[in-house]
Structure 1
């Protein structure tokens, strides 16, 4: 299966670099480009790509506004990845709340960008591990006590443990190694956590954990 990707960034050279990276992968295809947020929304609606990679700061309409419009469109199936040069950009947390599949720093290695597109394309989500804790702690302005966290009492002790590891930006493989279980077991736990807490994906599980004061800090 080939994933169809839309690239949106106001810097032509950066877009060209991203396009060149994607062109090296047989399962990824750049089907369109945009230089501003309005064009990104229009191209997403026209092309219906599997993944849209959006820069946070673009003219006419920023990446946040474009993310909201793309993801709220009726029948949308496009997943959005947000790119930023700032590891604590105010827009990023809001983009995640709008439904983005995650965000990455622009200085990440090409192979990590390729991996991120594949992750988003299969319906998973991610945040750059180097900034997960700082990002969510900074922008979670109201902490709800854990005893009032909706759905938390429905989690088993092991599911709570997996939730804490998710909040610590652990991958499924890292969680499996930490718990001494298989990858499929971890996937099952994550799926049950999302269902019980009525969460969209693992990014929003991280947000949930921080919002309710149950994530590791410091």
Structure 2
């Protein structure tokens, strides 16, 4: 029996997931939480096999932070992100903080079941279009190599900030981690984008992947 903790700030969503999952395909929802803080507390107490984690939970600890903290305390517990965000920035950051899988709330029920079963066994799971995105990036790297600006032209601080940006952190979060001002982060970001001839965050992510800066281990 796969023991599941459901985490979402909407009570209706939690109830729906519990009705869907309970006693089906060897699954048992053993608890529910409305935010990240409650999720960590219950996970430590209940020791679930899988935590089904939403990302956006206003008013409490968000799912990304909760996932990172939960994996530190319960490294054997699998975290499956269930979210509305079909965005590579969220996907990359979720992988970085230790999530075992990432699936959209719009996914068919059967796909959700498959995802839970996969991460419960210790495997990784990404929704199909996410897998295509990662494969596309990998193939592009093999075919074209680095076609954008010169990486060596960046300062060590710019390289550091590039890595943080690519992992999905906001300017404010980067500033807090590096103990510098948000204005300084914005200045470095502007400089490195100019040096690399890049205009958007997705382009930065793509460049960082080619340079191996995401380091998801």
- TM-score, normalization by structure 2: 0.60
Distance in 1 between residues matched to 2:23 and 2:110, nearest whole Å? 10
1:7–1:32 contact (8 Å) kept in structure 2: yes
Distance in 1 between residues matched to 2:25 and 2:136, nearest whole Å? 38
Distance in 2 between residues matched to 1:47 and 1:7, nearest whole Å? 12
SS at match of 2:107: coil
Q: State how 1:44-123 maps to structure 2 within 5 Å.
A: 44-59=43-58, 60-73=60-73, 76-88=75-87, 90-123=89-122
2:88–2:130 contact (8 Å) kept in structure 1: no
- TM-score, normalization by structure 1: 0.60
1:82–1:92 contact (8 Å) kept in structure 2: no
Once the 2 structures are TM-superposed, how far is the Cα of residue 137 of structure 1 from its aligned partner?
7.2
Distance change >3 Å, CA 10–CA 46, structure 1 → 2: same
Structure 2 spans left out of the alignment, 5+ residues: 146-204, 213-217
1:102–1:126 contact (8 Å) kept in structure 2: yes
Distance change >3 Å, CA 123–CA 137, structure 1 → 2: same
Q: State how 1:178-197 maps to structure 2 within 5 Å.
A: none
Once the 2 structures are TM-superposed, how far is the Cα of residue 133 of structure 1 from its aligned partner?
3.8
1:82–1:103 contact (8 Å) kept in structure 2: yes
State the superposition RMSD in angstroms.
3.1
Once the 2 structures are TM-superposed, how far is the Cα of residue 82 of structure 1 from its aligned partner?
0.4
Post-superposition CA distance 1:145-179 (Å, at most 9, x none): 98xxxxxxxxxxxxxxxxxxxxxxxxxxxxxxxxx
Q: State how 1:102-181 maps to structure 2 within 5 Å.
A: 102-134=101-133
Aligned length: 148
SS at match of 1:13: helix
Structure 1 spans left out of the alignment, 5+ residues: 147-206
Once the 2 structures are TM-superposed, how far is the Cα of residue 115 of structure 1 from its aligned partner?
1.2
Distance change >3 Å, CA 33–CA 86, structure 1 → 2: same
Once the 2 structures are TM-superposed, how far is the Cα of residue 211 of structure 1 from its aligned partner?
2.7
- 2:209 pairs with one of 176, 194, 211: 211
Post-superposition CA distance 1:70-98 (Å, at most 9, x none): 1011x532100001112116333211111
SS at match of 2:91: helix
